[in-house]
Amino acid sequence: MDEHVRSQRTEKAARRIIELLELDLKGLTVYTELGSGNYAWTPIIAALADADKVYAFARTSRYGTVEENVQNLDKITRSLELEDVRSKIEVVTDRLGKHVASADIITNSGLLRPIDGQMIGLMKSTAVVPLMYETWEFRRPDIDLKECASKGIPVLGTKETAPPLDMMRYGGFLMSKLMFECGLEVHMDRILVVGKGRLATNIARFLSSNGIRFHHHRSGPTGQLDFGDWDAIVVAEFDDDDVVIGPGGVIDPHQLAKQNRSVQIIQICGTIDEPLIRKLGLSLHPDQTRPGFMTASADFLGPKATIELNAAGLKVGEIMSRYRKEHDYEETMALSMKHEIVDGW
């Protein structure tokens, strides 16, 4: 696809979600990341939502260099004639610079983490930190919650299923794209879905609505389940760390290899014994698995999911910030959690 057309479509999606969320950052300063690919749009969204100032922290990562990410930001805004938007965004490379002290909203974005005691010490007492994801996904090293509470800085999550969002509905399409990459067609395939949370449930609903033959295994060992007829096993355990495929897990990989060596394992999330699976000659996709993380997110499908979720995270930041300027820490937490899009602890 032509890059300019892609940018036009992405801008349309950004403006649409800003309108749907009624995201209004006027009078607020936002400190977020300047990431690569679709994550270049997070500071753009904040500026489009009329933030007074947007600090976009950039650092080189495995996804891209500082120079590449800045060039991408400039290319997007120049192509779309968003010079006024670009003028609000200041790219910074010092994570703990003076801009931290002036920010009303500090997003818990990947490049900014960890939000530790040193960073929190620089924040003003009325600052807020939106997680940009649901609170159950919180990883302790990301943010020093105790230090935030001690300073009166609210930290709350983004409810990904609250209207107008429904991020879990991307699950079926994500599974399909991963299967397509393996040469499977989905249609007329037989698919075993393993997982008891919302992601697995939504994948099962997707398969059911499309008339695809599948079985949804929610919990416990598969027991006498015959693996011989499955074309794919989709691991989508989002809610706990129980072993899905491995010794003592839901699926015994030795039994699986014995009954169906041609089966394709699609791991979206969940604990598996990857070395043993590969040793047994079973096919696993994607190639790289990360314990505690999804192997592929909705961002893998295109920009809309990333833009929707990050805009929603900024909305949570807006809600908390408006309250924090008028109320103390405890009341801000209580009032913010009354909003459907805000995910509490």
Q: What is the value of pTM for the model shown?
A: 0.85
Considering the domain architecture, whether residues 220 and 91 belong to the same structural domain is answered as no
Considering the domain architecture, whether residues 128 and 267 belong to the same structural domain is answered as no
Whether 249 shows a pLDDT value over 80: the answer reads: yes
Q: What are phi and psi of 286, to 5 degrees?
A: -70, 170
Considering the domain architecture, whether residues 282 and 200 belong to the same structural domain is answered as yes
Total tally of structural domains belonging to the chain: 2
Average pLDDT over residues 220-242: 84
264-289: pLDDT as tens digits: 999 998 999 999 999 999 999 998 76
Considering the domain architecture, whether residues 272 and 295 belong to the same structural domain is answered as yes
CATH number (domain holding residue 289): 3.40.50.720
Whether 1 shows a pLDDT value over 70: the answer reads: no
What domain range includes position 226?
168-299
Whether 293 shows a pLDDT value over 80: the answer reads: no
Considering the domain architecture, whether residues 188 and 320 belong to the same structural domain is answered as no
Task: Quote the pLDDT of residue 290.
Answer: 65
pLDDT category at 294 given cuts 50, 70, 90 is: confident
Task: Quote the pLDDT of residue 2.
Answer: 81
List, in order, residues 6 or more apart from 88 with CB less than 8 Å away.
Answer: 47, 51, 52, 53, 54
Side-chain-side CA neighbours of 54 within 13 Å: the count stands at: 27
Whether 225 shows a pLDDT value over 90: the answer reads: no
- The Cα–Cα gap between 162 and 177 comes to 25
Considering the domain architecture, whether residues 174 and 159 belong to the same structural domain is answered as no
Considering the domain architecture, whether residues 180 and 253 belong to the same structural domain is answered as yes
